[in-house]
Amino acid sequence: MARPRSFDPDDVLDVAREVFWRKGFQATSLDEITAASGIGKPSLYAAFGDKDALFLRVLDRYHDGILGWAERTLAQPGSARDAIQQWLMGFIPYCSGEKGQRGCFSIKSASDGSLHQVEVRKSIERYNRRLEELIRARLRADRAQFKKGFDPDISAHTIMVVHTGLMALAHQLPDPKQVKAVIDQVMALLA
C-alpha cells in the first residue's frame, strides 16, 4: 500500500527516554532526540505527536515497566514481608552508585517544568497510587502474619515514602550498603 516505517517506535521511545531522563523535559530539544534516534522531525511528529505527547508516551512507558515488575515481585509466594523486602532491594542498583546517579525518571518529571502538562501530573499520580495499592493489597492479604495493632494502610504508605526517599537521594551516589541498612531498619516496622 504505502512506504513502511523505517524505525521501531519502541526503539525511539527508549532513546527519547534516555535523553529526557538525562536532561529533563524542558532542557531537551527535539533536535537532540532526532540526532540520538536517527529519525527526522516529521517522522517523530507523525508517529508521536508534539513534544508534550512524546514525553507523555515515554513517561507512561517508564511507569508501566516499573509497575509490571512490581506486580510480579509483590505477587511472589511466601510472606508479605519477604516479598516487600525483595521488591525494595531490587531498587538498590538504581538508587546507589554510578548507575543510580540519574535518579528516578518519575520523580524527576514530577519536579520538572513538565508538570505544566496536566496529563503528566495525572500519569505520575496514577503511578504512585497504583504502586502504593500493590503494597497495601499485599500487606492486607497477609495481615494475619503481623502482630496485633498492625495497620497495613499506614505501613504501605510508609514503605512508599521510604522508597521515594531512597530514589530521590540517588543523585548523591550513596553506598549500596547504606541503602541496604535503611531497608533493613524499615523492614523492622513490618513485624
Size of the site for DNA (CB under 7 A): 22
Pure H helices in the chain:
9-23, 30-37, 41-48, 51-74, 80-89, 105-111, 118-141, 152-168, 176-187
Long-range contacts from 153-157, C-beta under 8 angstroms, 24+ separation: 155/189, 155/190, 156/132, 157/132
Torsion sign over Cα 26, 29, 35, 40: positive
> Footprint of a copy of itself on residues 172-191 (CB under 8 A)?
172, 178, 181-182, 185-186, 188-189
Q: Does 29 bind DNA (CB under 7 A)?
A: yes
Q: What angle do CA 124, 88, 92 make, to 5 degrees?
A: 95
CB contact at 8 A, 182 and 166:
yes
Residue 42 touches which member of a copy of itself, DNA, none, C-beta under 5-8 Å by kind: DNA
Looking at residue 75, its amino acid is A
Kindly tell me which residue out of 11, 50, 64, 175 binds DNA, with binding defined by CB under 7 A. Answer: 50
The least CB distance from residue 162 to a copy of itself, in Å, is: 6
CA-based nearest residue to 84, from 125, 149, 132: 132
CA 119 distance to own-chain centroid: 16
Kindly tell me which residue out of 54, 92, 124, 134 binds a copy of itself, with binding defined by CB under 8 A. Answer: 124
The least CB distance from residue 133 to DNA, in Å, is: 33
Applying CB under 7 A, the span of 28-36, 67-75, 135-143, 170-178 interacting with DNA comes to 28-36
Q: Does 39 bind DNA (CB under 7 A)?
A: yes
Kindly tell me which residue out of 30, 47, 137, 169 binds a copy of itself, with binding defined by CB under 8 A. Answer: 169
Q: Which residues bind a copy of itself (CB under 8 A)?
A: 23-24, 26-27, 103, 107-113, 115-116, 121, 124-125, 128, 151, 154-155, 157-158, 160-169, 171-172, 178, 181-182, 185-186, 188-189
Q: Which residues bind DNA (CB under 7 A)?
A: 1-7, 28-31, 39-43, 45-47, 50-52
